Amino acid sequence: MLNQLLTLFGDYTFQVVALGTGILGLLSGVIGTYATLRKESLLGDALSHAALPGIGIGFLLIQRKELWVLLLGALLSGLLATVIIQVMNRKTVVKLDSALSLILSSFFGLGLVILTAIQNNPNAQQAGLSNFIFGQASAMLSSDVQMIAAVGGLMLLMVVLFWKEFKVFTFDPMFAKTLTLPSRLVEFVLSTLIVVTIILGLESVGVILISALLVGPSIAARQWSNKLGIVMVIAAFVGFVSGVAGTFISSVGTHIPTGPTIVIVLSAIVFISLLFSPKRGILARQIQIKKREKDLMKQLSRGEERS
């Protein structure tokens, strides 16, 4: 068993996939924290589905599977969906959740139509496009990991540079509008960071599961702290561990998909945090309630004895 584990850890393919999914989980934890705190968790789900038409259109333009072209198409499609959602929310009576649901279903349906048309076209180059729906992390190359690391480094640098602006806009957007901050620009930059994070995870996790990777780490981290910096660090750690652990489990087993395994590991961490976190956990709250009941009973019994 030990020899098998050493062989696995020394395998180049495993190292590449584990590093790529780990970095992706780390980025999702950091950027997803803003979406969770702004109560826009559904935004990640909508934008991930909205990226699918861009992938199909990107393939139709060049008639071959060039990853950077497909991701660029997905990025443009996601940004277009973001603009439409913001316009619908501001200029019409449609509420945000309704706009998100409409864009999610509309863009995803359009993407399925385009991919189905491509699959029916006799062209060997379209093989593997359906992997963007459910993900295929095992197909990740070292060049993909380098791209994820480079783009992720720039995104983390932006988070550091605009830390105060993002923090104010996240917790009090109305107050941010009274300051000299260009609130619409800050909102667009945050949405762009979310879109880019989703695009980076499409190949490994897929459009259906990437929203879980974007939201899950921050939900788990939020149970352990109330400070934004600490929550973001914990979320990054949870995302990284989920990516590496999910890759390890899928590699040890037989015919176990990596993306869904990562989400399962992440879900387990989220449920553990919801149950056992010392302040917000369900068990901790039950213990506090019982303790308060005992203290109340003691006070009542003392009052009866005095009377």
pLDDT tens figures, 110-135: 888 888 887 777 665 665 666 666 67
The structure tokens listed for 91 are 């200029």
154 pLDDT higher than 90: yes
Higher pLDDT, 13 or 30: 30
Predicted TM-score of the model (pTM)? 0.83
* Integer Cα distance of 73 and 115 in angstroms: 14
* Integer Cα distance of 69 and 52 in angstroms: 13
* Integer Cα distance of 54 and 70 in angstroms: 7
User: Percent of the chain beyond pLDDT 70?
Assistant: 89
Count of residues in the chain: 307
Q: Which CATH number fits domain 13-276: 3.40.630.10, 1.10.3470.10, 3.40.50.300, 1.10.1370.40?
A: 1.10.3470.10
What are the C-alpha distances in Å from 250 to residues 85, 233, 243, 245, 253? 37, 26, 11, 9, 5
274 pLDDT higher than 70: yes
184 pLDDT higher than 70: yes
User: Helix, strand, coil shares of the chain as percentages rounded to 5?
Assistant: 80, 0, 20
Q: What is the pLDDT of residue 113?
A: 87
Do residues 228 and 33 make contact, with C-beta atoms less than 8 angstroms apart? yes
Backbone angles phi, psi at 212, to 5 degrees: -65, -40
* Integer Cα distance of 184 and 11 in angstroms: 47
